[in-house]
Amino acid sequence: MSVRGRWTKALRCAAFLCILGLLLFFLGKILRQKNHEYLPSKEPQLEGSECEVLLLGPSTIMNGVYPLQLWDEYGMVSYNCGTGGQSFTVSYYVLKELIKRGNPKLVVLDCGKARSKRTVVEIGNLHYATDVMRYFAPERWELIKTASVERGYSFDEVMGIALPVIAYHERWQHLKRSDFQKDIKYTTYGAKVDPRVCAEADPLEPYAASPDASLSPVSETYLRKIIDLCREQGIQLLLMTFPNMTTAYDVSQRGYCARVDAAAAVQKVADECGVTHLNLIDEGTAIGLTPRTDTGDGQHLNYHGARIFTSWLGAYLRDHFDVADHSGDPSYAYLDEAYAAFSEYASKYVAEWAAK
């Protein structure tokens, strides 16, 4: 075979492999699970320097803070990048990757998973972030490697995380129109709207944190990494532990005590590092929340509760941090339209659920 022939064959093979790779990549995007627990598949304000407040952490912040309400009431430009079961490890790598695409002025980190003893709670929680992060971002691969080594994932599990089409290849039988439509988190700016109301909620017995309360090595390591990263980048940081007013589907009295201890351990690190930690675990009533009307399951705030909490948090951020109020700035007028779309979606969703 001539040199030209060999080059032609090599180029054809390369083109085939590129096309195959793109096909697998886009099939993974279509087939992956699409629910409210995932990182938003697009963060419109993170491009450039428009997003000033990043919200990170597990489902409590994802359910509990509405970025577009922060805009409507306080002129803050924010985005909710919470995911189900998001540990400090996941928060660190997600934040590290997002900083490359934007210029946040403040990070609000929900410490709800501070008591975690592992890099991720389970493999599904890892998928919530890695399936959506930019595919070739170094931070995505660092997160996959870190979690895989620590959790001892099998080769098949690692391949499924690295290339989502492998993990979800059987979903083609269950594809729906929504799999091809715009992610609802485009409308909510990353937040999750919970329409449920948990009318039956058992109160918790008071518990004082143990003076020996401490974080697991992995949680403390990555909390300190987040603090150091924000300090290096000149980003303000607020650590926050959400209210826990009642027992819930996954929070018993014992679980509540573990949360109180974890919050106390976070406070020790925060004091040492000179950052603010809002320990709100027992402050739900003071904030204005009612257990039987403002949670969806006893733990996560529902739509009504999240609106109360978002308004309270916005006032706190305004009074204690350097966050600009862009109200009336014509260059942010698109957020007025976004808020209207969010309000319409949330109101309709809650009404439809109540009518069931």
Condensed to tens digits (0 to 9), the pLDDT of residues 327-338 reads 999 989 989 999
- State pTM to two decimals: 0.89
Question: How confident is the prediction for the chain on average, in pLDDT?
Answer: 86
Report residue 58 as tokens.
């597990």
Q: Output the DSSP codes for 41-77.
A: S--GGGSTT---EEEESSHHHHHH--HHHHHHHH---
| Residue 157: how many other CB atoms lie within 10 Å | 16
Looking at the domain assignment, is residue 2 inside a domain?
A: no
Residue 268 has φ and ψ, to the nearest 5°, of -60, -45
How far, in Å, CA of 7 to CA of 288, rounded? 71
Residue 223: band (very low, low, confident or very high) from pLDDT cuts 50, 70, 90:
very high
Could you tell me which of 247, 216, 252, 39 has the C-alpha nearest to residue 118?
A: 216
Please tell me which residue, 173 or 135, carries the higher pLDDT value. Answer: 135
Look at residue 124 and tell me if it is in a domain: no
- Is 78's pLDDT higher than 80? yes
**How many domains, in total, are found in the chain?**
1
Q: Is residue 151 part of a domain?
A: no
d(CA 333, CA 53): 18
Q: Edge to edge, what strands does the sheet with 53-56 contain?
A: 78-80, 53-56, 106-110, 236-241, 276-279
Q: Is residue 152 part of a domain?
A: no
Please calculate the CA angle 320-324-330 and round it to the nearest 5 degrees.
Answer: 155
- Answer whether residue 252 is part of any domain: yes
Residue 7 DSSP class: H
Write down the pLDDT at residue 7: 64
Specify which of 76-80, 121-125, 248-252 reaches the highest per-range mean pLDDT: 76-80
The confidence score (pLDDT) of residue 252 equals: 84
Report the amino acid identity of residue 93.
Y
| Res. 204 pLDDT band, cuts 50 70 90 | confident
Residue 258, in any domain of the structure: yes
Residue 68 lies in a domain: yes
The torsion defined by the Cα of 245, 58, 272 and 267, in degrees rounded to 10, comes to 10
| Domain membership flag for residue 161 | no
Domain region containing 311? 50-118+183-354
What pLDDT is stored for residue 310 in this prediction?
A: 98
Which CATH number characterizes residue 227's domain? 3.40.50.1110
For residue 186, how many other CB atoms are within 10 A of its CB? 17
Predicted confidence band of residue 185 (pLDDT cuts 50, 70, 90): confident
Indicate if the pLDDT at residue 243 is higher than 60.
yes
